[in-house]
């Protein structure tokens, strides 16, 4: 195996460990803290502390997305990831010394660290990628990252078969902390300069150096009299990108991606935990659904990746499937989950009896539809803003995390039907604006071809 491919797998393994802990924690946080509000009121934890914690995470993630680029340049991609991942470890450790103020502080630290981790990850992935290998390397990262939901779900099933969330609380968070520490250790042993494996002497001695597909994605630095852009210039450039018609249309999709991510990562599983007719499955209902969300994510990635090329599935078809999948999941959630399950335990009547099989169907639809949306967002940004992708991705993350922050906050008091109505409107609007951008891009491409022919 070539050293650059090995490093990509090493990077994917570290993120698989880190997010097998964090994603699993996100699925149970609201339910866990609701139980602690009952059994340990001296900690200051309330029924809504889980929602507030998640909201704080995304609030700081939103804010630091605008400040992090120069910090990453100063620290380097590798150490940005290590420091960012350490914030995840600190957050997990706050649960072992549970106090409402320490929890909220840890949430803020994690939000800032997440911005550092993901910015460093993007830079590192670009640095290690050859010109024709970026898609492959991104695919490896996506597959290994999404497998975290599967492994996390299996762990929770193993733990909860012998107890419940409350009795297994300390053991669960010790394991989560240890797994994240292992992910950090893998990052530490990664090369400081991944570009050495795709440029410099190693490439010069490579037989296929002359072939451009094997050249570095980032060209070697050359002497230039052009002064580096100032912070003011960078901000101005970002606003120029934002106010383009295509970006303003895609902003609707970015906001929706944050809302639906909030729903399947926290709100939906908290509703399952609060639905009393599902109590016969104890706390296992959450890890079972985590497995199906993860399976849906993996299936969605395969369909939009290699299988999509074989079946010649176009972007419009994928978005249509995402629309149908999400609307079906929202409708089934409305029919089968109590209207007030977002705020407290309840056995309020529902149109359909809530069953484990029905919740698993909803989870799979949420996972596969999210994968469809996320992959098409990345592809579209790469196509529409290929001249300035950095600012475009920064704007995407800004809107996504801002929407997640607001959504987690209103989830603490807004009943399920209202939240599903917001999601439904956002889903339909996102589809329409996405198709508008694709049509505009197609027209521009056709005109450019005609001009070249003339």
Q: What are the structural domain ranges in the chain?
A: 1-204, 244-454
Residue 198 has φ and ψ, to the nearest 5°, of -130, 5
Say how far apart CA 109 and CA 14 lie, in whole Å: 20
For residues 69-97, give the mean pLDDT.
90
Distance from C-alpha of 301 to C-alpha of 268, rounded to nearest angstrom: 22
- Dist. CA 281–CA 62, nearest whole Å: 37
Q: What are phi and psi of 166, to 5 degrees?
A: -70, -45
Range name among 100-114, 342-356, 389-403 with the lowest pLDDT average:
389-403
pLDDT at 407 over 60: yes
Distant-in-sequence, close-in-space partners of 240: CB < 8 Å, separation ≥ 6: none
Q: Supply φ then ψ for residue 130, to 5 degrees.
A: -75, 170
Residues 340-367: what's their mean pLDDT? 93
Give 328's pLDDT tier (boundaries 50, 70, 90): very high
Average pLDDT over every residue of 199-209: 44
Q: What is the pLDDT of residue 268?
A: 94
Q: What is the pLDDT of residue 208?
A: 42
Give CATH superfamily name and number for 1-204: MFS general substrate transporter like domains (1.20.1250.20)
pLDDT at 219: 46
pLDDT at 71: 82
> Which are the contacts of 413, defined by CB distance < 8 A and separation ≥ 6?
48, 343
> What CA–CA distances, in Å, run from 106 to 109, 168, 203, 274, 453?
5, 21, 44, 25, 59
Give residue 375's pLDDT.
Answer: 78
| Whether the domain at 1-204 and the domain at 244-454 fall into the same CATH topology | yes
- The pLDDT of residue 172 is above 60: yes
Q: What's residue 192's pLDDT? A: 82
CB-CB contact of 152 with 23 (8 Å):
yes
DSSP, residue by residue, 329-378: HHHHHHHHS-TTTTTS-B----SS---HHHHHHHHHHHHHHHHHHHHHHH
Please name which of 410, 434, 2 lies closest in space to residue 203, comparing C-alpha atoms: 2
Render pLDDT for 220-275 as a digit per residue (tens, 0 to 9).
Answer: 444 444 455 666 676 677 778 888 899 999 999 999 999 999 999 889 988 998 99
Phi and psi at 346, nearest 5°, equal -155, 155
Least confidently predicted of 78-92, 328-342, 352-366, 379-393: 379-393
pLDDT for residue 252: 95
Helix, strand or coil for residue 27? helix
Report CA 293 to chain centroid distance, whole Å.
13
Instruction: Measure CA 429 to chain center.
Output: 21
Please give the pLDDT value at position 326. 97
pLDDT above 70 covers a percentage of the chain that reads 82
Angstrom CA distances, 356 to 30, 79, 393, 408, 427, stand at 20, 43, 38, 25, 26
Q: Alpha-carbon dihedral of residues 56, 369, 81, 188, nearest 10 degrees?
A: 130
Q: Looking at residue 189, what is its pLDDT?
A: 92
137: pLDDT strictly greater than 80: no
pLDDT for position 229: 60
Average pLDDT, integer, range 188-202: 67
φ/ψ bin of 351: left (φ > 0), alpha (ψ from -120 to 50), beta (otherwise): alpha
List residues bridging with 216 in a β-sheet. 130
Q: Are the C-beta atoms of residues 197 and 216 closer than 8 Å to each other?
A: no
- Tokens representing 368 are 């596969």
Residues in the chain: 454
- Residue 362: band (very low, low, confident or very high) from pLDDT cuts 50, 70, 90: very high
Per residue in 273-325, pLDDT (tens digit) is 899 999 877 678 888 998 999 889 888 877 776 566 666 677 788 899 999 99
Yes or no: say if 144 and 212 are a contact pair by the CB < 8 Å rule.
no
Average pLDDT over residues 88-100: 95
Going by pLDDT thresholds of 50, 70 and 90, the confidence category of residue 133 is low
When mean pLDDT is compared across 148-162, 223-237, 419-433, the lowest value belongs to: 223-237
Q: What's the rounded Cα separation, in Å, for the pair 15 and 7?
A: 12
Residue located via tokens 């995390």: 401
pLDDT of residue 218: 47
Q: How many C-beta atoms lie closer than 10 Å to residue 222's C-beta?
A: 5
* pTM flag (> 0.85): no
Predicted pLDDT of residue 72: 81
CATH of domain 244-454: 1.20.1250.20
């Amino acid at each position: 195996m070539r050293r650059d491919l090995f490093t990509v797998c090493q990077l994917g393994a570290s993120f698989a460990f880190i997010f097998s802990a964090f994603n699993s924690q996100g699925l149970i946080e609201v339910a866990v803290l609701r139980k602690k509000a009952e059994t340990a009121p001296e900690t200051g934890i309330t029924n809504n502390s889980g929602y507030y914690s998640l909201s704080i995470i995304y609030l700081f993630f939103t804010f630091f997305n605008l400040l992090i680029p120069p910090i990453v340049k100063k620290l380097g991609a590798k150490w940005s990831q290590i420091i960012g991942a350490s914030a995840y470890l600190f957050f997990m450790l706050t649960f072992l010394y549970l106090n409402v103020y320490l929890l909220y502080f840890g949430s803020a630290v994690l939000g800032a660290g997440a911005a550092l981790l993901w910015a460093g990850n993007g830079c590192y992935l670009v640095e290690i990628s050859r010109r024709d290998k970026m898609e492959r390397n991104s695919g490896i990262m996506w597959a290994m990252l999404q497998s975290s939901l599967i492994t996390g779900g299996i762990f929770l099933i193993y733990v909860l078969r012998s107890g419940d969330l409350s009795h297994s609380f300390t053991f669960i968070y010790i394991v989560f902390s240890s797994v994240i520490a292992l992910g950090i250790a893998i990052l530490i042993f990664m090369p400081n300069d991944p570009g050495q494996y795709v440029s410099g002497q190693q490439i010069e001695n490579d037989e296929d150096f002359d072939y451009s597909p094997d050249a570095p994605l980032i060209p070697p630095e050359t002497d230039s009299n052009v002064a580096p852009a100032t912070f003011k210039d960078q901000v101005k450039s970002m606003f120029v990108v934002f106010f383009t018609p295509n970006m303003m249309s895609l902003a609707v999709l970015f906001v929706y991606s944050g809302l639906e991510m909030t729903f399947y990562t926290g709100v939906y599983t908290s509703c399952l935990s609060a639905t009393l007719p599902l109590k016969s499955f104890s706390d296992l209902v959450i890890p079972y659904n985590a497995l199906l969300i993860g399976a849906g994510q993996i299936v969605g990635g395969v369909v939009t990746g290699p299988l999509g090329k074989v079946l010649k599935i176009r972007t419009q078809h994928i978005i249509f499937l995402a629309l149908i999948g999400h609307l079906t999941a929202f409708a089934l959630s409305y029919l089968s989950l109590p209207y007030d399950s977002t705020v407290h335990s309840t056995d309020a009547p529902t149109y359909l009896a809530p069953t484990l099989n029905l919740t698993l169907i909803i989870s799979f639809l949420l996972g596969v539809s999210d994968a469809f949306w996320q992959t098409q967002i990345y592809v579209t940004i790469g196509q529409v803003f290929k001249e300035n992708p950095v600012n475009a991705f920064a704007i995407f993350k800004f809107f996504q995390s801002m929407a997640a922050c607001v959504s987690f906050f209103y989830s603490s008091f807004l009943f399920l039907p209202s939240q599903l109505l917001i999601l439904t409107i956002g889903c339909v609007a996102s589809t329409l604006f996405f198709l508008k951008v694709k049509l505009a891009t197609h027209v521009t491409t056709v005109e450019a071809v005609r001009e070249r022919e003339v």
